[in-house]
Structure 1
Amino acid sequence: MGKRKGDGKKPRFWIKDQPRIYSRFSLPEIDMIMEDRLSRDVICGGNRKIRSNFTTVEDDNIAVEDLISKLPEEILCHIISFLTMREAVTTSVLSRRWRYLWRTTLNLDFDVNNMTGNGDTKFSQQDNGGFVTWINQILALHCSERIESLRLQRWLGAEYSRDIDQWIQFAVDKKVQKLDINLSKENSSSWDGETYVFPNWVLTRERGMGSTLKHLTLSGCNLILPRKFSIFSSLTSLTLKDTLVVEGNVLNILSNCLCLQWLSMTACFCSKRLKFSGGRSSLKLKHLNIQACYYLKEIDICDAVNLVSFEYSGFMLRRILCKSSAAVARLCFCTVWNPLAGVKYALSSLTSDFPQLETLLLTLPRIKEDMIPDSIPTFTKLKHLVLMFIGAHPEGFLELTSSLIKASPLLYKLELHLPIPLKENKIVQEKIPSELEVCRRHKQLREVEMYNFHGDQKEVELFVYLLNSANIERIKIGRDIRFYRGDGEWLNAGFLSKIKRKQARKLLRGKVPSATRLIIT
């Protein structure tokens, strides 16, 4: 017997470079910043899987007219700006009209996959010299007076620091607005050797260029700003990954970048205490993300009256101090490495530290039923709750979900990322535990989404409980598994569940009221 179609292919789950999904923050001021950062897929990271197909029709009886080439040059250049570097250069062979248009592209994306195509090994990790030479050649041919973005993604040693300096200077001279420099090593920290230092000297006031930069992303680099450095006058967002961050440097950044509204730090080497303060002036900061930062013990947020979104992922801190009248409406809280301490804090002090919460993303570990307090403080303004369960089925995840719903009287939307079920819990039973049947009906809950659905007994119990506890208008069942990566980015890791869509519908449809819309993906 021959192989069936699809045999021999790698399973989609855990494949590198899975599709990323960007969800809105439901905060207009934050959504605008995120959309500007991610426009045209230049600064989002990851590999775009876009293909351009140029088809030639050959028929003696059909006259084929090239209408696209008759478009104004400005429109053609705009079209080219959406292509990868490799595709943009390829357009030069289309016709004489297209020959030099790629040289005016506004978005320069220097990623090996985007330049040579996925699977092309022309520039291996050992051939950094060839990669650098190609970039120098492309920049030498570029003839536009300005560019919107420049992205570099490849680990380059200290011997190429001067080349990187020149590329950044080129971008600054072209009045770049988005700059993404990723020099992180793929499987190790960038701090096991000499680290590239971002060249502040290219942004001196004498050049008069620094004010155009709006979005800066640095990975595997070192950013050290002098105390009086006001060139980042228009910088709106700053994203740091795998970078050395000390308290004094953070204060310099915040005091010098007066328009900064977005600050994200991931896998950074920090001092034990980080203080976020604008000095004499109040911060304009609206979104703050601190994720997996080493050695950090305390966070002190001062003068951040505009802060509406805060994300923390890492070890449970000794102290989170949020002074002033910061009205944080969106919070993501994840303590993976010492989760029980994080859950204890989330179920006791979270409501008092962040009383204005409307959206909460909470990561929950395997916990036992006796760890859940009899009463949870009320989330008086919470409207959107996202619960992300880690590991195999926790013993008390049904009870914990129920308790959080009861503690959120204004909750409108509930999103559950279910844990991986244990093998012995495969059989679905129709009987629902009596302790979940008795529940005062929730007045506001209308939308429910459940991901990583396997058809497990506890999942069906929770499904029925939610339908019985509120007037649900829409319930979505997703068989795909998703992981939150921070800053509004979700990683779609594919389908770990073996249940088919028809099986899921057959299992659930008899339990859904006629007024409720059931969606299964």
Structure 2
Amino acid sequence: MGCTHLEESPLTVRCVLHSDVKGKRDYISELPDCILSYIQSMVSMKDMMNTCALSKRWSNLWHLRRDLNFDVHNVFGSEEELLDKGYLAIEKVYEYSRKDISDVCKDEFIKRVNQFVKNFKGIMIDSFMVKFNNLNHRHSKNIDEWIKFAISRGVGRIDLLLYQEPGHYKGTRYTFPFGLSFECKSSRLKHMHLVGCKLVCPPSNFDIFPFTNLKSLVLERSRVDVKLLTTLLSNCLLLEELNLESCKVNSSSLKIVSSSLCHLKLLWCEASKDEELEFISLDCLKLTSFYSCHMNPSPSFSMNTPILKTIDHFDFPGGIYNAFSFFATVSTLEILNLCIYYNCCPCCSGKGISIPLQTTLENLRELNLRVVSQFDIWWILDVLKASPFLQKLSVMIEYPSFDANETDIDDLPMFSHDEIKVIELGGCVGNWYEIEFAMNALKYIHTLERIVLSPYWKDEMSPNNGQQCDPSWPNGRKGILEKLQDEGIELDKLVLL
């Protein structure tokens, strides 16, 4: 009998597993192992263990499971069960209700995972995940055994998600056991995600072997020793993706040197309490995409990335002039998503920014700008001049304001571009320079396929990064249309939201 795809929902499967099989014939238990193991993969670890009571055959099948996921609901059941057993407490904090896992629940969770690991007879697993808040250094002995168990079973992916709630066990994070001795002759570990851990550099002779086949490493809300990171990068020659999110490093400088890294993400990273992260050096010959956002404070960068094509969410504390001078050193750059905090720089006086020819971004095809300061139409013209092969330009102005002053309108030069196809301006309110810019683009850019004027901008401080809109936009929209129609401009390429 061959294996077929099962369409049952987890709820249906759970009912089947708990049904009475004491009838004349147990047809379910006669199914092939591959189907029964598939059924087990659709239910929680708790329900899977309950199948052991169905029959002798079922009692051996749980060893076939290759994805082991341990979190509160997988181990204990529904939220109602957690409340009934006192594992979950609801505390009223001001006008909000907060749900906290009790220490009794934490001890029971560790006990159950230990029992599973001890009794599991399977010889191979694909993934091992533990997700539980505020497990820390006091539970190191147990967590170390879980990691050793997973690696000894040839695990391909480890997710250790020990989220640390604010104020809980401050400074006592679990230290990931790079210094442990692992009894394995080969390693299948390719993906590792660590949250709420501490990564320190063990003795120089520690066994790096179990981690040498890593392809992706995600470190989140963790404390990272830069020496350990350097060791991992120099020994993990297959590592293609590295994410550091909300991490603290024990140095004022961070050097990332890798011959294999293709994708790098640095988000909300900073130095330890006594230092500031001032300098980041990238020496990555295969890096093609770099995501950097909300570094505190904004460090200076040195980049040896000869094939880098995409830079995403880069926060640049200086003006557009300094930004283009910096990114011109990345000659292969094709897509740039940039946040500008100040439009002006010390070398500017009044109108416009003359970007020198040596800062031309020859390969740039797409530019997305988020402007967190007063808008100036002049530097958009300079951006177009400095990006001769640009095909899409998107500019979002946060917290725009209406400017009725039109004294400089005659000074706005005519401009054109030989490649641009799409222009998007967000945060519009109907200012004169928005109208003038749209008019010139529609008149003189013959490659233009679409220009979009939108009142919306994305406010990262609002819930769910909600979109904001200036209430003056309806009048502004009407004014834009009237002005363009008076000038006899064709509106088939114009989109007004």
Regarding TM over 0.5, the answer is: yes
Q: What do the CA deviations read for 1:14-57 (whole angstroms, capped 9, x no partner)?
A: xxxxxxxxxxxxxxxxxxxxxxxxxxxxxxxxxxxxx966599x
2:265 matches 1:296 = no
Q: How does 1:110-509 map to 2 (within 5 A)?
A: 110-112=70-72, 122-123=87-88, 124-127=100-103, 128-136=106-114, 139=117, 144-153=122-131, 154-187=133-166, 192-201=170-179, 204=182, 206-209=183-186, 211-223=187-199, 224-227=201-204, 229-231=207-209, 232-266=211-245, 267-277=247-257, 283-291=259-267, 292-294=269-271, 295-302=276-283, 304-313=284-293, 314-315=295-296, 319-323=300-304, 326-332=306-312, 334-335=314-315, 339-340=317-318, 345-352=322-329, 354-367=330-343, 370=350, 373-375=353-355, 377-390=359-372, 394-421=373-400, 425=402, 434=409, 438-448=413-423, 456-458=429-431, 461=435, 464=438, 468=442, 470=445, 471-473=447-449, 481=458, 493-497=465-469
Q: Tell me: CA distance 1:461–1:273, structure 2 relative to 1, closer, same or farther (3 Å).
A: same
Query: Partner amino acid for 2:264?
Result: L
Alpha-carbon separation, structure 2, partners of 1:349 and 1:326: 14
Q: What do the CA deviations read for 1:450-482 (whole angstroms, capped 9, x no partner)?
A: 6xx566335965983695364443567695837
Q: CA deviation at 1:380?
A: 0.8
Query: Partner amino acid for 2:257?
Result: S
Alpha-carbon separation, structure 2, partners of 1:136 and 1:90: 14
Query: Partner amino acid for 1:107?
Result: D
Q: Tell me: CA distance 1:416–1:274, structure 2 relative to 1, closer, same or farther (3 Å).
A: same
Q: CA deviation at 1:379?
A: 0.8
Query: Partner amino acid for 1:167?
Result: W
Q: CA deviation at 1:483?
A: 5.6
Alpha-carbon separation, structure 1, partners of 2:437 and 2:45: 48
Query: Are the equivalent residues in 2 in contact too, given 1:358–1:381 (CA < 8 A)?
Result: yes
Query: Partner amino acid for 1:395?
Result: Q
Q: Tell me: CA distance 1:72–1:333, structure 2 relative to 1, closer, same or farther (3 Å).
A: same
Alpha-carbon separation, structure 2, partners of 1:387 and 1:443: 21
Q: CA RMSD in A?
A: 5.0
Paired residues in the alignment total: 428
Query: Partner amino acid for 1:345?
Result: N
Structure number with higher relative contact order (C-alpha < 8 Å, ≥ 6 residues apart)? 1
Structure 2: stretches of 5+ with no match in the other structure:
1-8, 15-27, 89-99
Q: CA deviation at 1:77?
A: 5.2
Q: Percent identity?
A: 24
Query: Are the equivalent residues in 2 in contact too, given 1:479–1:496 (CA < 8 A)?
Result: yes
Query: Are the equivalent residues in 1 in contact too, given 2:159–2:194 (CA < 8 A)?
Result: yes
Alpha-carbon separation, structure 1, partners of 2:72 and 2:162: 13
Q: CA deviation at 1:203?
A: 6.0
Q: What do the CA deviations read for 1:65-94 (whole angstroms, capped 9, x no partner)?
A: xxx99997646756875x68489759979x
Alpha-carbon separation, structure 1, partners of 2:33 and 2:252: 54
